[in-house]
Structure 1
């Protein structure tokens, strides 16, 4: 199944809102770090429900936010959810390919992606495209929960028909640099909001031990890699 078909079905079932709720625990901390200034133009790659752009429209000074998704139904839902977003920032949602971003060279100030980068058919090409569209000094905030060090995510591929790329932290840094993006920082953003039951409640339906659940959410969390365009 293609990315388009897979996530069109998710959007039709309302699963985009479920992703928004789960991802927000760590996405909000990544978004808060972005050095957005008045008048900036920001790309949200794999926008899903568009929650990242709606949040930035409320709290940052960006002039224009673009949400790109490979699934038309996702983009359509995002447009509907954004109707009540702050009018100070204009938000637009488009259907597109991660490997061929519909933006001119040096035209965007910042880019963000949460739990979408690893769906790219060619992640190296995607990074080159991000580097191409960013202005000099522009930043790319790439956040993923599916990565090599997070052993608790390794079985996710079994539950989705789209091929996923599972890199470790070193591979992310190397790929960013190969694409021409300097790596400004990389760390794990913990999820401190997912409730973890007391030890006597384990095993649960999804977890054998409390220690494993603590590791997944409080220690490994979301891998955030920040690149800067030359």
Structure 2
């Protein structure tokens, strides 16, 4: 199944909102780190429900936000949600491919992707495209919870019909540099809001031990790699 078909189905049954709720615990910390200034133009790759752009519109002086998604139904839903939640924000949602961004060279101030980069058909090309469209000094905040060190995420590939890229932290840094982006930072953003029961309540239906659950949410969390265009 294609990315388009997979995520059109997700949007149709409301799972886009579910993704927003699950990812918000770490996404809000990632977005707070973005140096968005008044008048900036920001791209959200794999926008899903559009929650990242709505949050930036609500908390920054961003002039224009672009949400790109490979699934038409996702883009449609994001547009409708945003009209309701941020009617005065200048947000646009388009259907597109991560490997062919519909923006001119050096035209955007920042880009972000929350839990979507690993769905790219060609992640190296995606990084080159991001580097192309960013202005000098522009940043790319790439957040993923599906990555090699997070052993608790590996089984997710078995639950979805599209291929996913599972790099380790070093591979992300190398790929960013090869695409022409300086690596400004890389760290793990912990999820401190998921409730972790006391040890005597384990095993649960999802976790064999409390130690494994603590490792997944408090230690691994979301891997954030920040690139800067030269």
TM range (shorter): over 0.9
Alpha-carbon offset, residue 84 of structure 1: 3.0
Which residue of the partner structure matches residue 44 of structure 2? 44
Q: Contact 1:8 / 1:73 at 8 angstroms: preserved in 2? A: yes
Q: Distance in 2 between matches of 1:138 and 1:85?
A: 27
Q: Distance in 1 between matches of 2:114 and 2:83?
A: 22
Deviates more, 1:141-150 or 1:80-89: 80-89
Aligned residues: 230
Which residue of the partner structure matches residue 210 of structure 2? 210
Cα distance per residue 1:127-182 (max 9 Å; x no partner): 00000000000000000000000000000000000000000000000000000000
Alpha-carbon offset, residue 85 of structure 1: 3.8
Alpha-carbon offset, residue 183 of structure 1: 0.2
Q: Distance in 2 between matches of 1:87 and 1:75?
A: 16
CA RMSD of aligned residues (A): 0.7
Q: Distance in 2 between matches of 1:104 and 1:128?
A: 13
Q: What secondary structure, in the 3-state scheme, does the structure 1 residue paired with 2:91 have?
A: strand
Give the TM-score, by structure 1 length: 0.99
| Dislocated runs of 4+, deviation >6 Å | none
Does residue 75 of the first structure (1) align with residue 56 of the second (2)? no
Deviates more, 1:85-94 or 1:117-126: 85-94
Alpha-carbon offset, residue 88 of structure 1: 5.3
Q: Distance in 1 between matches of 2:37 and 2:87?
A: 16
Structure 2, unaligned runs of 5 or more: none
Which residue of the partner structure matches residue 128 of structure 2? 128
Does residue 148 of the first structure (1) align with residue 169 of the second (2)? no
Q: What secondary structure, in the 3-state scheme, does the structure 1 residue paired with 2:105 have?
A: coil
Alpha-carbon offset, residue 87 of structure 1: 5.0
Q: Contact 1:63 / 1:88 at 8 angstroms: preserved in 2? A: no
Q: Contact 1:36 / 1:60 at 8 angstroms: preserved in 2? A: yes
Which residue of the partner structure matches residue 54 of structure 1? 54
Structure 1, unaligned runs of 5 or more: none
Q: Distance in 2 between matches of 1:158 and 1:211?
A: 24
Q: What secondary structure, in the 3-state scheme, does the structure 2 residue paired with 1:56 have?
A: helix
